Chain A
């Protein structure tokens, strides 16, 4: 089942990769990429947005590595759609006993939830203007609501919409299945998986390029001066992927024993964010001038690396979180802490 979903998703994402790249505005300051309605229709037709759900909830009862693996796969093709946000929105709504999302969904924190009302503003919301459902978390409540008013249209370095949304309306509310910090950690794992997929794609593209591009009479991939940094890029990619997978496997704990999940999520986002910066530098260096052009595909990947490492907490934020946690341990408590964090997986 898992392989079948990955195979069909891989087909879909491959088919839309070129169009997704073409949809990016030429100029980075021109705003967000255009919505691709056919892409989203097919994502829904394949049932991808419910992949994190149990069978009782209307899903397939697959491990979280399947659902969040799709986020990585989509990112490896630079697919412009809020698949990860919608997967998590459905998962949280199901856990809270609320109806699943209508259409594309996104996640927000900030506005106040009182009784059946939602009031306030959330900014930098991923794909906000295109979301039909927004899952809002506030203190110990969760709300399922329409996108509200788009009070400002923004975008990120990768031309993805990042909008300010404002609500003063009725909403379907429930007790929150997760805390605000857990919510942020889930977002961090989404981006860690997306970074891992983007890193894989960037390294793969660069290896292919290095094996084709000839200088001094042979492919530039023959030179140790290029092989060694590409090996570093591959190892960094492996670490980003491993961290993201480690946290992904613990996702169910977000609902029951969140401390362990948050710790793994913090490590995952810190590690993937650090890998992103290093690898982006290497893949551009190996590509030379062609990789620095708008028309070549590499920029769709590296701009995502630079954008996503700062979303849902950058390396510093999550390192601070882990550092505070470690400082609070008893003397000689560090090793038991490390084995405790890992052994749930």
Chain B
């Protein structure tokens, strides 16, 4: 009678302090002293292809990919160090984020040699960007309900349907589209993933503004889009298990507990060296939670490195992480009172405003809180 999970420490020597120091020095120089809290607070929404190419030149993208595909053959824990330093600095990582985090690893697992040789070196260089092709208007948490369909058409595929909530589709080169390719009665059967070049004719990308009026999300329509035979990623009919694997990558990283980090850092600056008792206790509590979450997140990276399957552990980290990310603005406003005013008048107030307006997404993107808890409950043996 035990709970079916533990979070063992990653193997000794996983701190990679030299690499960490290198990344810190690079970020300090590249972002510069004027890269303030407001910019940092965009978290992983800051989009800057030039920055992505610089990272590529440093060897910090596609770090775990094998060298034959242009990768660097480094460990999941080395990648972890680079990624968490980027997030803590609030670096503008959005351009390459999806490609480096999930599309690249997916291609590596399921792609043909031609696909891998064509695309992975460009991801590694920071020049090739991806967006996610999962959600549809009628298929949010219920991903198996997707209606987008690709039919065999001559030597290739004809794709029709509409994806939604697609972050940075307007800047991406490719989308990996999860869609129906067969007529199976089984909801999970008859689905596949297609690698879609977004410059193909018949694709319409329409902005959807978020609650702050910012344009990250899009609706992407496919009208009789003709794709080559080679667009198929992995096996026809295996889309469901592939997309579940992709979600495991999506949920596994430190991006799942550091989204509000810029606000926390700004809060500490405002409080200075002499916080009152209430503030000191609140900060201490947040510190404890962050330390433990970081330990859990590094443990997940260690499991990835050992070729274990940390899907459940990553789900737990994401659920706990979103709670903390959403708690930080609530605590910040209680111990450092300020009207959350958007705009550049007052940095703390502006970062607070931005974080508050981002926070609802923390427990939606990458799987809603309710879906995550359903997964955890099933693994406990409930259902």
Contacts and interface: CB of A to CB of B under 8 A. Distances in A.
A242 B296 contact: yes
Contacts of B285: 270, 274, 315, 319, 322-323
B380 A267 contact: no
Given A267-B291, A315-B285, A324-B280, A200 B2 contact: yes
B26 to A, nearest CB: 15
Contacts of B5: 238
A207 B292 contact: no
Given A228-B370, A270-B284, A327-B274, A246 B9 contact: yes
A323 B8 CA distance: 26
Contact of A231 (B264, B280, B377): B377
A214 interface: no
Nearest to A205: B1
Given A230-B382, A237-B3, A323-B275, A341 B291 contact: yes
A256 B285 CA distance: 26
Contacts of B382: 207, 210-211, 221-222, 226-227, 230
Interface string A225-268: 01110111011011101110110010000000000000110111
Interface of A: 76, 200-201, 203-204, 207-208, 210-211, 221-222, 224, 226-228, 230-232, 234-235, 237-239, 241-243, 245-246, 249, 263-264, 266-268, 270-271, 274, 315-316, 318-329, 331-332, 334-335, 338-339, 341-345
Contact of A221 (B88, B264, B383): B383
Given A227-B377, A327-B280, 15 more contacts: A204-B3, A207-B380, A221-B382, A238-B3, A239-B289, A239-B292, A242-B299, A243-B295, A246-B9, A270-B288, A316-B281, A321-B284, A323-B285, A323-B287, A342-B15
Nearest to B379: A234
B291 A264 contact: yes
A312 to B, nearest CB: 15
A271 B374 contact: no
Interface stretch (B176-184, B214-222, B227-235, B265-273): B265-273
B344 to A, nearest CB: 21
Q: Which 9 A-B pairs have the closest CB atoms?
A: A323-B284, A343-B15, A319-B284, A323-B280, A322-B284, A231-B373, A227-B377, A231-B376, A267-B288
Most chain A CB neighbours (cut-off 10 Å) among B1, B14, B383? B1
B359 interface: no
Nearest to A219: B382
Contacts of A221: 382-383
Contacts of B374: 224, 227-228, 231
A320 B144 CA distance: 48
10 contacts: A207-B382, A245-B7, A267-B287, A318-B288, A323-B280, A323-B282, A323-B283, A324-B280, A327-B271, A334-B268
Most chain A CB neighbours (cut-off 10 Å) among B9, B88, B383? B9
B381 interface: yes
A203 B379 CA distance: 13
Nearest to A206: B380
Contacts of B2: 76, 200, 204
B288 A326 contact: no
B316 A222 contact: no
Q: Is the interface of B mostly helix, strand, loop or mixed?
A: helix
A143 to B, nearest CB: 32
Contact of A323 (B269, B279, B290): B279
B298 interface: yes
Contact of B7 (A200, A242, A263, A335): A242
Nearest to B376: A231
Nearest to A249: B9
B139 interface: no
Nearest to A337: B287
Nearest to B295: A246
B377 A327 contact: no
B288 A271 contact: yes
A270 B261 CA distance: 20
Nearest to B269: A331
Contacts of A208: 1
Contacts of B272: 327
B320 interface: yes
B79 interface: no
A335 B291 contact: no
A238 to B, nearest CB: 5
A342 B283 CA distance: 18
